[in-house]
C-alpha cells in the first residue's frame, strides 16, 4: 500500500463512518464526546485533543502487534486529518 492508497482508504473510512454514525458531511462526534467527558471529569479537553488521543490509541494498537494492522493505520491517518481540521479551526 502506498501513501495515496492509505490516504484514500482513510478518506473512505471517514465518509462511511459519517454516514453510519453521524452527519452526511462526515465524522462529527468528537465535539459532543469531549463535552460529555469534560462534564463528567471536570477536565477541559479540546476537540483536537480528543482526536489526538484517538490517533495515539491507533498507533499503540498497531505497535502491539508484530505485523502492521492495516485498519489501525488507516484510522490513525483519518484521525490525524480530523485533528488537523479541528486544531486549525480553533479560535486563538
pLDDT per residue over 37-63, tens digit each?
A: 999 999 999 999 999 999 999 999 999
Domain definitions of the chain by residue range: 3-88
pLDDT of residue 25: 67
pLDDT of residue 17: 80
pLDDT of residue 22: 65
Burial of 11 by CB count in 10 Å (0-12 exposed, 13-18 middle, 19+ buried)? middle
d(CA 15, CA 11): 6
d(CA 33, CA 52): 13
pLDDT of residue 27: 73
* Residues of the chain scoring pLDDT < 50: none
Amino acid at each position: 500500500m502506498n501513501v495515496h492508497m492509505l490516504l484514500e482508504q482513510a478518506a473512505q473510512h471517514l465518509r462511511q463512518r459519517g454516514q453510519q454514525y453521524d452527519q452526511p458531511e462526515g465524522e462529527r462526534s468528537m465535539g459532543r464526546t469531549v463535552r460529555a467527558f469534560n462534564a463528567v471529569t471536570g477536565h477541559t479537553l479540546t476537540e483536537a485533543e480528543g482526536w489526538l488521543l484517538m490517533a495515539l490509541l491507533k498507533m499503540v494498537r498497531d505497535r502491539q502487534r508484530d505485523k502492521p494492522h492495516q485498519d489501525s493505520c488507516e484510522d490513525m491517518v483519518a484521525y490525524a486529518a480530523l485533528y488537523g481540521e479541528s486544531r486549525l479551526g480553533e479560535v486563538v
